[in-house]
Amino acid sequence: MQKKLFIILAVIVVLFIALYFVMDYKNDKAVEESNNPYGTNDLEQSTIDQLDDPLYQNIILPDELEKKLDDNEDVVVYFFSPECIHCQNTTPYLVPIADELDVDMKKFNLLEFEKGWRTYGIEATPTLVYYEDGEEVDRITGSQPEDMFRAFFNEYVVEGK
């Protein structure tokens, strides 16, 4: 009886190990086959799930953002986390507004680049920030109505073009 129980437990353990490797392989394949702008395959699952989502393209990496700010460029950055429910609710209407107004809105993934919280003074997600000449001018924090984002873009980006 004990021998049967041991065999059953051993089979279950082997199955779980095999399942782990299959899932790991599947995730690696998904990252390889997608448009991965992150420069690494070591990504959180929620980020992997968004790699081919058209709403989460135009990702900016920390070094790229730092260079833009150091070069005194104007840039609009949407700080988000793939696991943030407010980001998941805001992104589907924010991105089309930015596209409609021809705003080059960069997206900064705070789940993958956690130092961004401290570096850019982000207290909550989502946060939309406008930098002019490399300096922060204004920001919107949290889930806000569409009109607020549209007014933000119109005031800082569209009128300046």
Do the bridges between strand 127-132 and strand 135-141 make them parallel or antiparallel, or are there none, so unpaired? antiparallel
Q: pTM, whole model, 2 decimals?
A: 0.80
What tens digit of pLDDT does each residue of 116-145 get?
999 999 999 999 999 999 999 999 999 999
What tens digit of pLDDT does each residue of 44-65 get?
999 998 998 999 999 999 999 9
Closest CA to 106 of 95, 116, 93: 95
